[in-house]
């Protein structure tokens, strides 16, 4: 009798264990973000800005690149608060904010950031802003109040002539990207009066992770027909896939699926993809992913990769309509200070690491604001190659003229 009961008991135990395991399997549903009505339009326009900026950068850059549209638009929105006249209008139009005033733009940004930071407990997301100004530079209080209240910006005056100022700003960038971007500035121009910074950090684990034991060395085929050996990850799970005549795409989710990576593989070359890929393509692709829940298991092969990237974006932003801000004669940054200011550079540093567990990525956007003169400062710093002349003053006769490119030579 005991011999007959034993198989039955074992079967019941197996069935109970299977039911228990199935019942405790987590359900991955994204958290719905409740944003103002205007937010969807702003996000759409911000995406359009980011895609256009990326395409313009990718068309002139070889090798791996990565930009952060969110970080760039956040830093430029901070700058927008200090602009007036055509300088304001150009940046507002470039970012797609034509129908909104600055107050609405700032409130929407604040609401979006607050909710992004709390969207998924399994994803680590950090967003930080900073305003650094030269000590003695009298920044208008309303601008600083807006930076503090709407952007939660760290605001600090520094002695830009000291190495410690450079160290302080680079440390802030490193701290707010958890060490992934250790340096964003190599030097401070004598005419620099302010730096606006946005730091963005992301670390998410895949909803369905890749098994490290199934990562193998495999060929990766470059567009010049050569091959390189890469660490290729492998997994099999349900995923949304989208195909059309120009490319195929897959969506890989993080955590509770609030965040995802969309991987787009062109049928021809990346240049062909960028030439033909429009904002409408992006909207169609993401709409398809949002409206479909895949029931198909896919065998996925995806390479591990890691790289850092740095790019000054002046030329790209000028071609997108942000012209006056870079022109020392035309720029109107009177919301920051009454003296003549202009944008010296907009730069982005990025980092990404994709592996079996997930993705770690970071970006820092830095906007350098200069004055056309040294203002009230009595400093005169010769810290770069220079020319010189020796003359007789009454006749203005030049005796000697030359240049110095390296004082040690």
The answer to whether residues 123 and 176 belong to one domain is: yes
The answer to whether residues 75 and 224 belong to one domain is: no
The answer to whether residues 156 and 237 belong to one domain is: no
Distance, CA of 108 to CA of 331 (rounded, Å): 26
Distance, CA of 72 to CA of 150 (rounded, Å): 17
Pick from 251, 355, 359, 245: which is nearest to 298 by CA?
Answer: 251
Distance, CA of 299 to CA of 210 (rounded, Å): 11
**Which is it for strands 386-392 and 341-354: parallel, antiparallel or unpaired?**
unpaired
Is 124 within the bounds of a domain? yes
CATH code for position 163: 3.30.497.10
The answer to whether residues 64 and 183 belong to one domain is: yes
The answer to whether residues 243 and 182 belong to one domain is: no
Is 31 within the bounds of a domain? no
* CA 288, chain centre distance (Å): 25
Is 174 within the bounds of a domain? yes
Is 340 within the bounds of a domain? yes
pLDDT at 407 (0 to 100): 54
Distance, CA of 163 to CA of 186 (rounded, Å): 10
Pick from 116, 197, 77, 127: which is nearest to 361 by CA?
Answer: 127
Is 19 within the bounds of a domain? no
pLDDT at 265 (0 to 100): 86
Task: Quote the domain boundaries for residue 72.
Answer: 37-205+305-371
The answer to whether residues 113 and 196 belong to one domain is: yes
Q: How many domains in the chain?
A: 2
pLDDT at 124 (0 to 100): 92
Q: Could you tell me the two tokens for 150? A: 């709407």
Q: Could you tell me the two tokens for 39? A: 């937010």
pLDDT at 209 (0 to 100): 93
**CA angle centred on 346, ends 329 and 135, rounded to 5°:** 75
pLDDT at 14 (0 to 100): 38
Distance, CA of 166 to CA of 49 (rounded, Å): 30
Is 8 within the bounds of a domain? no
Q: Which 8-state DSSP code applies to residue 206? A: B
Q: Which residues contact 249 (CB under 8 A, 6 or more apart)?
A: 241, 242, 243, 262, 263, 264, 265, 285
pLDDT at 225 (0 to 100): 82
Q: Spell out, as residue ranges, where the chain has pLDDT lower than 50.
A: 1-25, 374-382, 384, 386-399, 401-405, 409
The answer to whether residues 324 and 252 belong to one domain is: no
Report whether 271 contacts 246 (CB < 8 A).
Answer: no
The answer to whether residues 238 and 200 belong to one domain is: no
Is 14 within the bounds of a domain? no
């Amino acid at each position: 009798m005991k011999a007959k009961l034993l198989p039955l008991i074992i079967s019941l135990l197996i069935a109970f264990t299977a039911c228990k395991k199935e019942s405790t399997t987590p359900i991955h549903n994204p958290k719905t973000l409740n944003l103002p009505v205007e937010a969807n339009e702003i996000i759409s326009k911000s995406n359009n800005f980011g895609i256009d900026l990326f395409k313009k950068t990718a068309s002139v850059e070889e090798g791996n690149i990565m930009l952060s549209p969110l970080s760039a638009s956040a830093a430029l929105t901070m700058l927008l608060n200090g602009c007036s006249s055509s300088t304001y209008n150009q940046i507002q139009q470039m970012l797609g904010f034509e129908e909104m005033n600055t107050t609405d733009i700032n409130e929407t940004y604040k609401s979006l950031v607050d909710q992004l930071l709390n969207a998924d407990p399994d994803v680590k997301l950090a967003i930080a802003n900073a305003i650094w100004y030269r000590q003695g530079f009298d920044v208008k209080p309303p601008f600083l109040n807006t930076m503090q209240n709407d952007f939660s910006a760290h605001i600090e005056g520094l002695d830009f002539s000291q190495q410690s100022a450079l160290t302080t700003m680079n440390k802030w960038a490193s701290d707010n990207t958890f060490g992934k971007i250790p340096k964003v500035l190599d030097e401070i121009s004598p005419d620099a009066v302010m730096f606006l910074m946005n730091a963005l950090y992301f670390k998410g684990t895949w909803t369905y992770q890749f098994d490290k034991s199934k990562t193998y060395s495999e060929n990766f085929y470059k567009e010049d027909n050569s091959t390189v050996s890469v660490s290729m990850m492998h997994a099999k799970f349900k995923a949304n896939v989208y195909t059309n005549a120009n490319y195929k795409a897959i969506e890989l989710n993080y955590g509770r699926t609030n965040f995802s990576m969309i991987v787009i593989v062109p049928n021809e070359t990346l240049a062909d993809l960028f030439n033909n890929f429009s904002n409408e393509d992006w909207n169609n692709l993401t709409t398809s992913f949002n409206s479909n829940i895949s029931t198909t298991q896919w065998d996925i092969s995806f390479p591990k990769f890691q790289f850092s990237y740095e790019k000054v974006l002046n030329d790209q932003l000028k071609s997108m309509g942000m012209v006056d801000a870079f022109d020392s004669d035309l720029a109107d940054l009177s919301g920051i200070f009454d003296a003549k200011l202009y944008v010296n550079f907009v730069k982005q540093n990025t980092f990404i690491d994709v592996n079996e567990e997930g993705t770690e990525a970071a970006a820092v956007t830095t906007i350098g604001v200069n004055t056309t003169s040294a203002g009230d400062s009595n400093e005169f710093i010769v810290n770069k190659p220079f020319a010189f002349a020796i003359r007789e003053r009454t006749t203005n006769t030049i005796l000697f003229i030359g240049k110095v490119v390296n004082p040690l030579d």
